[in-house]
Every structure is written in structure tokens, then in C-alpha cells.
Structure 1
Amino acid sequence: MRTVEFDAVVVGTGPAGSASALVAAKKGLKVLVIERGPEPGSKTVSGAMIRIDEVGKVFGTDIPIERQVKRFKVIIANGGDRVNLDFPVSGLGTVGRRKFDAWMSSKAEAAGAVVITKTSVTGIKRTEGGIKVLTDRGEISTGRVVLAEGANPILSMSLRIRDDLTPEDAVQTAKEVYSMPQTEVTKRMGLSADTDGEVWRVIYVNKTFGAGFLYTYKDAIAIGAGAPMKSMIEKKYQPNVMIEDFKEDLGLKQLLSGTSLREYSAKIIPESGFPYCKAGIDNVYLAGDAIGLVNPLTFDGIGPAIASGVIAGNAVAEGWDPRKYEEALKYDPLIKSVISSRKLVKQLLSTGEKYVTLLPEIMKRWASGDLYGIRELVSENAWTILKDLTLLMQVRK
């Protein structure tokens, strides 16, 4: 590749990268999007749940949804003790990330952005005339850069915009996807139609405190679990063992019997980031997972990533300074929710196990009519509950 010029270069074709490219291209900029994988979405695995309105207002309503989520289940599990809640929902859908990411990238291309794949960015350096983006295929001259490089932000760290993740600031996750016919997914999950879906959120204790999920796709069921990385390192707990324990605890092996494992992946999810790290420097803007915009309390990373990408696209188009970009991030409702939840998330990493034990015990005592016993349990844990409620009241939108 010879040296070429673009108004803006975006690194990454995930939700944040494609959103920023789409916005900047719509504003008339000549935008280049660089993807390391063979195609957009090729480095991601399986899928996720989305809030349809969050995606639709940026990319359009023709979202490649696998299933419309009609039932949502919350499970609190501590060994044999368990509390289950399920309720109808609307406005939610499951997506396969390969197809979903490719669709978002196509929207950016339709707006005028140029997307190149199989290209690795090896560095970024400043010149008198702007910025040089170094790749394994040549150099690109540009005025502005969006780094939407995901949870392992090597370029951002090389520019000293942010530090590397530490075990205290990350969760280790593992995910498995099991293939089966579409009608079999519907049958096994007890759904009313082949287009209906169900999602689980699980808070549990096994060898460590953790959280898990179950998603239904058109022709597959995905399960996953995660736990604080620091705890997993201390206990020498491997991700593949964690997900096996999760399946055992939740009785999922019977649900998945006779199916074939299509995907296994392990991923680190940031639990810290902006505003405890910078979101950019002059003419370089970070977005999405690169600055830890994941809300563990709502299991939502795609919504905040898209929101930050839109803001980054506007910043690129209008040449914002880093301070204006960071202020705009703080003002966005989805990102504000992530930021204001950080203290509570950190607290729950240490107190969450207590709730997993407490809630099933309260329900058992209620069933037996032991209201005084409930009072004792609440009284014993009142200080912890009060502190966590205080942090919850600080969450903003």
C-alpha cells in the first residue's frame, strides 16, 4: 500500500468504530476504516443481546436480529439454593456478532467510508502536517484518528493515553455456543414461536463470585460466565473449568445434551476506564471497550460503544479538543450510566457474594413464615446494604 490521505482513520469495525465512521462520513469526511481481521466481525465470537432502539436510531431498523427476546429470567444461585424470577420483555433482541458487525460496517460504507481488512495498524506518529497511521501494508496520512480497538488497546497504551488493564480492573469470561435446529431451540426453551427468544442473567457463587448468561439465537444457545480476574488468578481457576462448573450448577448439561459445540471463547472485559483514564489526546479519540465503556450491571457494552462512536464521529468531523470530547462523553445518558456505576460495580465485586447467599436464605425464611429470621438477616447485613444502596442512588442517566 502506498501512502494515501484521508480526513480521518478509524481503527476497528466493532460497534464504536462503525458508528464513528458512519457519522463522520455522513458529515462529508473522507474516512478510512482499518480492520485486522479478514472481514468485519471475523474476530468476534457468537453474539449478544441488544436494545433495539439504541442500535436502530444510529444504524437503521433493518437489524439482523436472531430472535426477539420475549422472556427475561434472573437467577440467583448459591449451590442448591436458588431464586428464579422471569418476566415478559420487549424491545430486546439477540444478534450474532459476525453478521451484526458486518451489517454495521456496511452502513458506514454506504455512507461513504472506505473499509479495508486484513490490515494491522502497527503504530501512530505525529508529523508536521498531521498524523501518520503505520500499517503492515503502508502508511496513511490523516488529520484525525479514532481508536476503537477493543478491550486490548495496544495502540492507546503505546500513545500513553491509557494504562494496561490490571487484574483488579478486569473480569475473565468464557462463552460457549451450541448449535441445534431452530425448532429445537424453540422446543427446549419452551418458546411460543421460532422467532421468540429468551435471555438469562445469573448471579452465582461457586469457587468464586461470578455472573453468567444464556442467550437464544436462531439456531443455537449461547452460555457464558465471568468472574473477577484477581480472584481467578488467586484461586488458579481456569476459564474452561469455570464454564463447566457453571453448566453443572445451573443444570445446563441436560438442556444442551445431544447438541454440538460450535464456539468456545475466553475474553477479558474491562471493569474500569474513562473517566479514570483519558479518552483522547489532540486529534486522537478513543471509543468503546478501549476506554472500558461496558456496564456490568446491565450487561451492556454495545449500547455505550455505539454512543461513544457517534460522539467520536462528531469530534472527528468538527475537530474537537480532547476536553470537549470527554465532556460530551460524560453528558451522554448511556455513558453517564456506565461512569456513575463504577463505584457500585467495584463495591459489588467484594459484597456480591454476600447477596447471593442472603437472598435465597431470605426467601426460604419467608416461605416458612419466619419473619423474625428475615429481620435478623437484614439487620446483620444492614451496613453493607446501606452502603450499596447509597452507591446505587448515585447512578445517573
Structure 2
Amino acid sequence: MQYFQAIVPYLNNPLAIVGFVLFLMFGVHRALISSGILPPVSQTDAPQIVRDILRYGFFAAIIVLASGFALAAWNTYIDLRKSTSLTGSLHLVDAKVVEPSQVYARWPGWDENTKAFPKLDVSFRNDGIAIASITRAVITIKHVWIDRSPWLPSYRDISWNYDAILPITGEGCRIVVPLSQDIKSNESDRFTITLGNDAPGTYDWFLFDIETAFFYNEDDSSLSTKEMIYLTPGQHIPVAENENLDRQISSLVYNLGVLAAVEKTGAALSEEAAKWADDKRSAVDRTVDQLVDPKSDLDTHIQIASILGRMGWYAKAALPVLEQVRDDKATDPKLMSAIGAAISSIQSETEPAVDLRVIRDDGHEGCSVAPGWDDKVPVVIANHEMRLSRRRLSRNRSSQS
């Protein structure tokens, strides 16, 4: 019995089935003749019978053989239908956050026309055979930081229309975005999600660190973007003044702390976020340039040395220049004293533990997540169900029609 079980898998082969049928047919016929149930044929009828057997037996063998291969092909087709290869199989071609050009403007004359929110721009290709239906995206807010501005706003509100709202106090939240994008086999598609925020009237900017997962098909297959950091404005209002030096310095030191936190994530920076990072990295160099600028007077040099001291650990790159100026015999004693104090401040500090959490003055909370929450349930933010609006390209509509 065990030997028979060993050969059973081979009987599924179409050739084995054909051989078995032919063996059975001719074996039974031979047994019937040997037993005398079928009388021997005459010599005159034998050639005709042989010809009929060869003719019809050949066609019968072809039919059986074709049926065997057809059955095997059908079984293979059924197996493939159970896999994802005959459903939509998406490939993430590209994902990036696109911001308006020159969005990072730091002056009061900021162009009102540039006040547009960034968009998550994604492209997919369907490598499967069937249509792939993208049903939703889940945006995970990993971090939120403020690029603190020294400018004070005036008291005139400006109305904004948001296509989508991400909470600035929503660190750790997930935002479910209902989608309805169908991508045909061997075709590609591209769509955007406008990324707004719920910031109140402010001149500050915000850096969002997000990662987005896209779910498609009934089995909830998924693709995820890389972790990305982008820069976005809050609800900007006109600037009143920026004359308080202490506020400027404290904002600069705070933003250097944000830069350090951003660099630790290792996330990809959007184009405008990269500009922001470069601007912050060069802040110390620009300050040092003012310190050694021969056109500046003594009071300015002393003030610059004091600013570098306020920067503390973040100004460690300025130590070689500070020490060189301090050791210069031509340096004024007052400036030498200010530089010495700055060097002591920088050398005595380790990386400061700056609290970078976004806290709103209006008591507006981020997201409250119930126990057992999963990514299929919309996140509740400030007692309102937040969903992003669906945006579809006309090109996508035409491709589906």
C-alpha cells in the first residue's frame, strides 16, 4: 500500500493518465480475447479491424492527451487566481512631498500667492493582471516641530480653506485617508493628497515627519513610503514687528535644537525642508562672519560674541575662530572678555535637552486614540473625525472610462 501511495502524485501528469487509459483499454481487450469471450476474427476482417483501431485509437489518444493538458492548465489557473499575481499588484514608483516654490520666505513682504499647502505626490504602477483598487492611505505623524519665528503677528485674522488637516499636536497619530483609485493592469497612476494643518494664527512654520501606507485590493495589500519631513506654514497673519533681540536669539537657539532633532531621524527632507535645514546650519557661520567683519564696530563685535555664547553647544563649530580672535594681541580687552565668556559657555555645555513638543495656547488637543485602535479606524482629533478629501486627476478618470 505504501508503494502505491508513493506513485499517486505522478498519476496527475497528463502523460501518465494517457498511458494508463491506453494500458487499461488494450489490457481489457487482450483479456477478453484470451478468455474466449470475444471470438478470434477472420484473416479477411483482421486488416480492417487493425486499421480502425489505429485510426480511431490515434484520435482517441489525442483527445485524451489534450484533455489531460487542459485539466492541468485549468488547475494551474485556479491556483494562480488564489495568488496575488492575477490580482492588482502595485509597485510604488515615486513618493515625495511637493511644496510651492520659495515657500520658505522669512520677511514681512512674503508673497500672499505662495500660501499653499504641500502635497504628497505619489506614483504607482500595476504589475498584476487585474485592476488594483487603492482604498485608503494611512498617514502616520512621527514628529511635529515648530520653526519658531521672532516676528510678532498683528491682530487681523485671515480665512483659510483646508483640503486636509493634520494636527500640529498630533505626534504619534495616524490619519486615515479614504481613497478610490483604480489602476488598470500594466498601467500607472499619479495622485496627490493636500497636507494641511490646524495651526492657529501664527508666523511660525511647522515641520511634519510622516510616513504613509497605501492599502489596496480586498486582501489589504499595502505599500509604504519612506519617512519624509516637509515644511509647511501655519495660518499666517500679517507681521507687526521684529525688534526684540532677545526674542530673535531665543528663536534661533530653539530652531537649532529642532535642526538637531530633524537630523537624528535620518528621514528624507523635502526640497523646502532641505532649504530650511541649510539656512539653520549656516546660522553659526553667518554669526561668526559678523564677529570678524572689520566693518563692524566694537559694540557689534561684543554683541555677536554674546550671541554665540547664548547659542551654547550649537555654536561649537565657532570655537576655532573665537579662540583665534581671543588670542590675538590686537583684540580689545572688552571683546576679549566677551569672547572668553562665550567660549566658556560653549565648552561647558552638552547637547541641551530642549522640550520641542508643540503645545497650543488655546487648549486644542491633538488626537485621542482609544485602546485597541488599529489603522482601519479613523483617528479622532479634538472630538472631530478628521478625514482628508479625495482628489482625483482628470487623466485618471479618462483612463478608467
Tell which has more relative contact order, 1 or 2 (C-alpha 8 A, sep 6+): 1
Shared topology, TM-score over 0.5?
Answer: no
User: TM-score normalised to the size of structure 2?
Assistant: 0.20
User: TM-score normalised to the size of structure 1?
Assistant: 0.20
* Structure richer in strand, relative to its length: 1
In terms of Rg, which structure is larger?
2
